[in-house]
């Protein structure tokens, strides 16, 4: 009897407890949340929630339009709340975000959503003077987000007295009116804005702080945080001006790419939560990398700034492509294969352009363009190999493959940009066609590198192996200068690693300091004007200064890491400068008459008093006659005449003219002056024809990719209708997605029609 009575009492207590909980549930509540636009402007929004009897479903008001990432975050917040209150599954959750922005998206309000849900189930409203930023994960942990300083400042402006941020995010590097500074946001917010900022690890920390007496919260740290190192502005030489402009271009492109990534993620058809989470994490990382790039650009640390901007754009491009084309990560993705093939075609096109002559005073820019193109070439070859071997891929492997593709795309763009520098005013008109003088050095360094790799433990995924493989590819193409630069760079990195092993801070600091001073003086004294040596040396100096900074703050381990990185950059600077100086010295010894002039000589063709024979004149007349025919075909665009020669035939005709010209010049039938004039005319005509042929092949591949994308989008549309008919999604969610999916299908169809017209236009030329 006693046992039965105890059981009865337990059941009664259980019923009373949950009846009380149900009775005390707060049906409506709201709180302030904060966001930062892609332009860096902070804004506030009102997050509201209504609880109604239901089965645990989550609904979102679509005015303004709320992105997929926000919807996913809301579902996670509710799932976390269910772990605190089993009765949570007895309610439906109607979220609403009111904002002046036309689009609301992002996971940064996840922690706030979790706080709002749990507090309402507990019957307590969130205090009006409390808010937070941070993602929420399924285990209840709070994750980092971008724009924390800007959000905190806006929260202070809106009257928030307690603002919670993810743990470890109090250290912020920001641009203030006094300059770029690294601050402790907890201390800074208290001093400047009179607001308390606390770091939180998980939803338990959030709940504890949210319902505490704010006045009693002690934000004073027993041990103040160590600020980030902020480098002082440095000057740069005239030779690095193209790099300054290029870095600015990459920073701006990364910023625009992040903006596009937000838009793509808002309208994505991705349903897999794990993939959406990966995209959110990638976008967050992209924003943080861009912030670093902007700060380093402002201080003229060009190599580091360009690198961070490069990485930022890679991650945001990953978000764009997967959000726009979810089938990229499907098994045996047709779109992925088409994109890789299209990129390979682009690599081949640029490779042909890079085969042309090299300005004698811009060999580093030209060689570096070839290096980057080879990085892309190696990556594409690996992607094709992996796809063939793996077949079916797990999600993480598939996303990793797309990320590698984004790297390759970015390398091609950089190669194009570096090559464009060699065609600007600062580069000499005198050029060299053959780099066979670099063959011996390239082969020597490759042999030495292979021996080093054989006896060293080199990670297959390391920068060393990337440079080694690139050097091998360059060698196979006859790009010996590029091969030498990559081989020497890889070798320098291996040697640097072995040089700093088992060395303490004092010896490393002294060695790096002396090495920087010596290398700097050598670059100046030899007037080598080495572009990459200067960039590497600036970066080595940056690591040295940061090591001094962190050692001064008691962070010996971090200081040692920076010294080691500095040693690697110093080794790169020394070795690259040596190779660059060697090549420049060799080229300087080439007789002027053996150099080529990359633009036509303006002096008119002489008749009276010159030494040309009648045979030469006849030859020139024949050459010019054929040239005029080709010019008529290409420039006056009369290809639409019936029976006109195909583009392939035109290319062959021009190449034959080039061969005839080379033969005539070798037999001294024409002057060097006239040779250069005709050579450049043929080159420009041939380049135009080959680009047109390449454009068509690229467009055809793009059209195939768009057709595959259309098929995928239409299938998702069919799946959506099927799910609605089965009753697995609400009418509101169905109508919202139906509109978005239909619009996407129409956009793809429009792009297909545009590509078809462009192909027709190319064919009609």
Residues 6+ apart with CB under 8 A from 573: 519, 532, 533, 534, 536, 537, 540
Interval 503-538: pLDDT, tens: 999 999 999 999 999 998 887 654 456 889 999 999
Query: Is the preceding peptide bond at 64 cis, omega within 30 degrees of 0?
Result: yes
316-336 burial: b if 16+ Cβ within 10 Å, else e:
bbbbbbbbbbbbbbbeebbbb
- For residues 571 and 495, the answer to whether their CB atoms sit within 8 Å is yes
Residue 733: per-residue pLDDT: 67
Residue 620 has pLDDT above 60, yes or no: no
Query: Cα separation of 125 and 28, whole Å?
Result: 9
Query: Cα separation of 675 and 291, whole Å?
Result: 52
Q: In this structure, what DSSP letter does residue 89 have? A: G
Identify the sign of the CA torsion 582, 584, 585, 586.
Answer: positive
- pLDDT-above-70 percentage for the chain: 75
Residues 6+ apart with CB under 8 A from 380: 340, 343, 344, 347, 408
Phi, psi of 588 (to 5 degrees): -65, -20
pLDDT category of residue 473 using cuts at 50, 70 and 90:
very high
- pLDDT-above-90 percentage for the chain: 38
Residue 693 has pLDDT above 90, yes or no: no
Residue 706: per-residue pLDDT: 65
Lowest mean pLDDT among 153-167, 206-220, 455-469, 653-667: 653-667
Residue 446 has pLDDT above 60, yes or no: yes
Residues 6+ apart with CB under 8 A from 442: 471, 474, 475, 480, 481, 483, 484, 487
Range 329-349 average pLDDT:
87
pLDDT category of residue 699 using cuts at 50, 70 and 90:
low
For residue 173, the cross-strand partners are 182
Mean pLDDT of the chain: 80
Interval 293-313: pLDDT, tens: 999 999 999 999 999 999 999
Residue 751 has pLDDT above 60, yes or no: yes
Query: Cα separation of 686 and 4, whole Å?
Result: 96
User: Closest Cα to residue 314, out of 383, 264, 258, 376?
Assistant: 258
Residue 67: per-residue pLDDT: 56
- For residues 374 and 486, the answer to whether their CB atoms sit within 8 Å is yes
Query: Cα separation of 114 and 75, whole Å?
Result: 10
Q: How many Å separate Cα 187 from the centre of its chain?
A: 33
Query: Cα separation of 421 and 428, whole Å?
Result: 11
The three-state secondary structure class of 53 is: strand
Residue 82 has pLDDT above 80, yes or no: yes
Residue 640: per-residue pLDDT: 39
Interval 171-223: pLDDT, tens: 888 878 877 788 899 999 999 999 999 999 999 999 999 999 999 998 887 67
Between 444 and 38, the higher pLDDT residue: 444
Task: Give the DSSP H or E segment for 98.
Answer: strand 91-98
Question: Virtual CA dihedral for 292, 297, 300, 303, nearest 10 degrees?
Answer: 70
Residue 490: per-residue pLDDT: 95
Query: Cα separation of 47 and 327, whole Å?
Result: 33
Residue 31 has pLDDT above 60, yes or no: yes
Residue 701: per-residue pLDDT: 55
Cα→Cα distances 183→36, 74, 253, 304, 397, Å = 19, 32, 28, 21, 38
Residue 724 has pLDDT above 80, yes or no: no
Interval 363-415: pLDDT, tens: 999 999 999 999 999 999 988 876 544 444 567 788 889 999 999 999 999 99
Residue 107 has pLDDT above 90, yes or no: no
Residue 731: per-residue pLDDT: 75
Range 570-580 average pLDDT:
93
Residue 742 has pLDDT above 90, yes or no: no
- For residues 242 and 365, the answer to whether their CB atoms sit within 8 Å is yes
Domain residue extents for the chain: 23-216, 615-765
Query: Cα separation of 381 and 685, whole Å?
Result: 31
Residue 596 has pLDDT above 70, yes or no: no
Residue 101: per-residue pLDDT: 53
pLDDT category of residue 360 using cuts at 50, 70 and 90:
confident
Interval 318-329: pLDDT, tens: 999 998 888 888
Residue 139: per-residue pLDDT: 83
Half-sphere exposure of 92 (CA within 13 A, CB side): 10
Residue 347 has pLDDT above 70, yes or no: yes
Domain 23-216 = CATH 3.90.1200.10: no
Range 334-351 average pLDDT:
90
pLDDT category of residue 695 using cuts at 50, 70 and 90:
low
The three-state secondary structure class of 92 is: strand
Residue 700: per-residue pLDDT: 62
Query: Cα separation of 140 and 80, whole Å?
Result: 6
DSSP states along 149-181: HHHHHHHHHTT-SEEEEETT--EEEEEETTEEE
User: Closest Cα to residue 146, out of 284, 16, 34?
Assistant: 284
Residue 759 has pLDDT above 80, yes or no: no
Residue 597 has pLDDT above 80, yes or no: no
Phi, psi of 66 (to 5 degrees): -110, 130
pLDDT category of residue 622 using cuts at 50, 70 and 90:
low
- For residues 97 and 59, the answer to whether their CB atoms sit within 8 Å is no
Cα→Cα distances 648→520, 629, 642, Å = 52, 16, 16
pLDDT category of residue 41 using cuts at 50, 70 and 90:
confident
Identify the sign of the CA torsion 257, 258, 261, 263.
Answer: negative
């Amino acid at each position: 009897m006693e046992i039965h009575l105890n059981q009865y009492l337990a059941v009664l207590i259980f019923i009373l407890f949950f009846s009380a909980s149900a009775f005390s549930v707060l049906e409506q509540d709201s709180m302030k949340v904060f966001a930062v636009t892609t332009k860096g402007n902070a804004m506030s929004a009102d997050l509201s929630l209504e609880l109604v009897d239901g089965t645990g479903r989550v609904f979102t008001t679509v005015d303004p339009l709320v992105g997929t990432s926000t919807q996913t975050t809301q579902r996670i917040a509710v799932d976390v709340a269910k772990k605190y209150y089993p009765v949570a599954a007895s309610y439906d959750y109607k979220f609403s975000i009111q904002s002046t922005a036309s689009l609301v998206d992002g996971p940064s309000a996840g922690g706030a959503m979790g706080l709002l849900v749990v507090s309402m189930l507990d019957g307590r409203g969130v205090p009006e003077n409390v808010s937070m930023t941070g993602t929420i994960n399924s285990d209840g942990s709070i994750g980092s987000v971008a724009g924390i300083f800007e959000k905190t400042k806006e929260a202070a402006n809106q009257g928030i007295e307690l603002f919670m941020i993810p743990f470890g995010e109090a250290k912020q590097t920001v641009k203030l009116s006094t300059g770029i500074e690294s601050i402790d946001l907890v201390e800074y917010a208290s001093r400047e804005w009179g607001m308390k900022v606390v770091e939180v690890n998980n939803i338990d920390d959030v709940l504890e702080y949210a319902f505490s007496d704010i006045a009693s919260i002690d934000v004073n740290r027993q041990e103040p945080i160590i600020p980030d190192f902020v480098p002082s502005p440095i000057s740069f030489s005239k030779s690095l001006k193209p790099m300054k402009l290029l870095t600015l271009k990459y920073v701006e492109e990364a910023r625009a790419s992040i903006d596009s990534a937000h838009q793509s993620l808002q309208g994505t058809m991705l349903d897999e939560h794990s993939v959406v989470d990966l995209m959110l994490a990638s976008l967050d990382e992209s924003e943080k990398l861009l912030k670093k790039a902007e700060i380093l650009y402002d201080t003229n640390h060009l190599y580091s700034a360009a690198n961070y901007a490069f990485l930022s754009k890679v991650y945001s491009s990953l978000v764009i492509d997967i959000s726009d084309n979810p089938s990229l990560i499907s098994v045996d993705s047709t779109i992925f294969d088409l994109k890789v093939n299209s990129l390979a075609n682009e690599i081949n096109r640029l490779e042909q352009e890079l085969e042309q002559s090299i300005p004698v005073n811009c060999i580093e820019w030209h060689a570096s363009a070839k290096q980057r193109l080879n990085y892309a070439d190696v990556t594409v070859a690996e992607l094709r190999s992996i796809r063939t071997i793996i077949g079916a891929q797990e999600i993480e492997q598939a996303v990793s493959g797309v990320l590698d593709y984004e790297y390759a795309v970015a390398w091609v763009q950089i190669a194009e940009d570096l090559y464009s520098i060699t065609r600007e005013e600062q580069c000499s008109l005198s050029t060299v066609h053959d780099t066979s003088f670099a063959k011996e050095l390239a082969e020597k360094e490759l042999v030495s590198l292979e021996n080093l790799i054989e006896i060293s433990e080199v990670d297959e995924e390391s920068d060393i192996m990337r440079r080694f493989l690139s050097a091998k590819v360059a060698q196979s193409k006859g790009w010996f200068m590029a091969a030498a630069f990559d081989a020497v760079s890889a070798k320098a990195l291996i040697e640097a690693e072995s040089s700093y092993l088992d060395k303490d801070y004092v010896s490393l600091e002294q060695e790096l300091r002396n090495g920087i001073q010596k290398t700097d003086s050598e670059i100046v004294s030899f007037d080598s004007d080495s572009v990459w040596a200067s960039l590497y040396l600036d970066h080595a100096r940056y690591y040295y200064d940061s090591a001094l900074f962190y050692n001064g703050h008691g962070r010996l381990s971090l200081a040692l890491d920076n010294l080691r990185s500095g040693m690697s950059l110093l080794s790169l600077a020394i070795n690259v400068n040596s190779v660059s100086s060697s090549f420049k010295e060799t080229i300087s010894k080439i007789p002027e008459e053996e150099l080529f002039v990359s633009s036509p000589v303006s002096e008119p063709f002489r008749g009276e008093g010159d030494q040309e024979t009648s045979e030469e004149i006849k030859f020139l007349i024949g050459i010019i006659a054929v040239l005029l025919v080709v010019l008529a075909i290409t420039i006056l665009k009369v290809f639409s005449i019936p029976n006109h020669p195909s583009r392939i035939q035109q290319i062959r005709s021009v190449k034959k003219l080039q061969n005839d010209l080379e033969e005539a010049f070798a037999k001294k039938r024409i002057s060097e002056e006239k040779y250069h004039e005709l050579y450049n005319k043929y080159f420009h005509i041939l380049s135009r024809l080959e680009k047109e042929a390449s454009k068509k092949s690229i467009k055809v591949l793009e059209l195939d990719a768009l057709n595959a994308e259309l098929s995928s989008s239409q299938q998702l549309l069919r799946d959506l209708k099927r799910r609605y008919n089965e009753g697995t999604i609400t009418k509101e969610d169905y109508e919202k997605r139906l509109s978005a999916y239909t619009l996407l299908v129409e956009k793809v169809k429009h792009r297909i029609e545009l590509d078809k017209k462009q192909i027709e236009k190319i064919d009609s030329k």
